[in-house]
Structure 1
């Protein structure tokens, strides 16, 4: 059974159109460079064999056939298609580094092809699926954001851009969560200035994430501890204005009241200005 016809190949619908046909198996090593291949083996035959193996769930053998094609018919249209399928097979196998390398090679060789948006999205998804736990270094998360932003920027009207936007929000929330984790650590150790700097990043750079409510409360907490009442009142007021039903606002309101004041916005505060820039406050 052929998974794609020539006409249908460019209309691959993300991963849902054929992902269910594949099994999650690991890729083993492929053929060595000096392996002798039949020089007259037709490119179409190799390609279709790769598709058949992929449909059966034998990703190792499928990857080998696609790579055979790339070596024996390097300048053919079939080689272009095989390189894209190699990117997909590596992605499905969880071999993200190999998927990224293959996808980037595809985009370098065939930037104007009809499948370039899909290849770009595969690369971005490989970065995205490799995002680490929030307790670890977030370099991979930033790489994922860069790759997702590239999909959105280059192919704004495609389904891949729409899917990338959803993943961007998750990745941004991850980065905000990292800032919150460090900020809470500083707060617990009474390093209030260090804590404020971390919460400030969340408020100024990640306002659309779910972390911003807690960040505003923590700013209230840190400023109250430093005795900077005006900024504490502003953080609580901005929190209440934008998230009136938030449990964090109730805590912030109570904290300011305990200090003898009420939530009150200082329009000149950086907190107020940060929200105004996005039309939120």
Structure 2
């Protein structure tokens, strides 16, 4: 006697054999190509490295920095280990910088330095990186992350390539960046001083005196320190701040105002050489 459902099992098995054939027929019906056609891959002729390089130079000569960057990028992709790629990368960095694509210039400049640390063009690559940060420095009311990165990058140019043609300009711009960072500290310090948060104000003015003694902000910082210390009753530090200000900047309007403030309290500028203020100035040959 046949088992119950045996007929159904045989029918299902027969359908299982037919289904793949039907599926294949269904899939083939969606083929977008005509049955008589065959796929022929398009072969793009390779552009020689020298031609890509010269094309890039041509675009640079026309100040078409966008096209120049694309040409040099193509060269780098197609011939990554060639001498042409090395030249193309530094020129691509320059093209990005000239086109104000500063983030791209930073990335390509850093890549060049990583691949070619001893190259004669390394100083130039580092300088382009530093200038890309420098040109993005915001005003003192905003976050100064780019200023801090510019400071580090410019210091690298001066320290690693002190005799390069870029070192002198890097030194000048270092002073500008330091003054910017000091200005930011002063802005915040004044904010706290106006609200009589003297401890917070002192911390900001202290940063200027400790880190940015050669900037244009130093005279005001010492004067404000005197004011804040007097408000807290820390007389010895106030006297020291006033004395250091008078010793280093005797003709400063800030010193004249500070001296009047001291006299109004019955005090005189008097330096305590154990003070952090005195030590900060002596550490850089001032005071």
Q: 1:164-175 alignment to 2 at 5 Å? A: 164-175=170-181
Instruction: Give the aligned partner of residue 95 of structure 2.
Output: 89
Question: Residues of 2 paired with 1:98 and 1:212: CA distance?
Answer: 36
Query: Which residue among 262, 272, 280 is the counterpart of 2:268?
Result: 262
Q: Give the Å deviation of 1:255.
A: 0.6
Query: Which residue among 262, 275, 279 is the counterpart of 2:281?
Result: 275
1:63 corresponds to 2:79: no
Query: Which residue among 186, 189, 196 is the counterpart of 1:183?
Result: 189
Against the structure 1 CA distance between its residues 178 and 37, is the aligned structure 2 distance closer, same or farther, given a 3 Å change threshold? Answer: farther
What TM-score do you get using the length of structure 2 for normalisation?
0.82
Query: Which residue among 53, 70, 73 is the counterpart of 2:59?
Result: 53
What TM-score do you get using the length of structure 1 for normalisation?
0.84
Instruction: Give the aligned partner of residue 214 of structure 2.
Output: 208
Instruction: Give the aligned partner of residue 38 of structure 2.
Output: none
1:137 corresponds to 2:117: no
Q: Give the Å deviation of 1:253.
A: 0.5
Against the structure 1 CA distance between its residues 36 and 238, is the aligned structure 2 distance closer, same or farther, given a 3 Å change threshold? Answer: farther
Instruction: Give the aligned partner of residue 24 of structure 1.
Output: none
Q: How many residues align?
A: 246
Give unmatched runs, 5+ long, in structure 1: 1-34
Instruction: Give the aligned partner of residue 113 of structure 1.
Output: 119
Rg bigger for which structure?
2
Instruction: Give the aligned partner of residue 104 of structure 1.
Output: 110
Name the SS for the 1:159 alignment partner.
coil
Against the structure 1 CA distance between its residues 184 and 254, is the aligned structure 2 distance closer, same or farther, given a 3 Å change threshold? Answer: same
1:235 corresponds to 2:241: yes
Q: Is the 8 A contact 2:66 2:96 kept in 1?
A: no
Against the structure 1 CA distance between its residues 202 and 36, is the aligned structure 2 distance closer, same or farther, given a 3 Å change threshold? Answer: farther
Question: Residues of 1 paired with 2:189 and 2:125: CA distance?
Answer: 38
1:38 corresponds to 2:41: no
Question: Residues of 1 paired with 2:149 and 2:214: CA distance?
Answer: 20
Question: Residues of 2 paired with 1:43 and 1:155: CA distance?
Answer: 31
Against the structure 1 CA distance between its residues 52 and 240, is the aligned structure 2 distance closer, same or farther, given a 3 Å change threshold? Answer: same
Q: Give the Å deviation of 1:213.
A: 0.4
Bigger RCO (CA 8 Å, 6+ sep): 1
Q: Give the Å deviation of 1:42.
A: 2.3
- Comparing 242-251 with 148-157, greater Cα deviation is found at 148-157
Question: Residues of 2 paired with 1:93 and 1:148: CA distance?
Answer: 21
Q: Is the 8 A contact 2:236 2:272 kept in 1?
A: yes
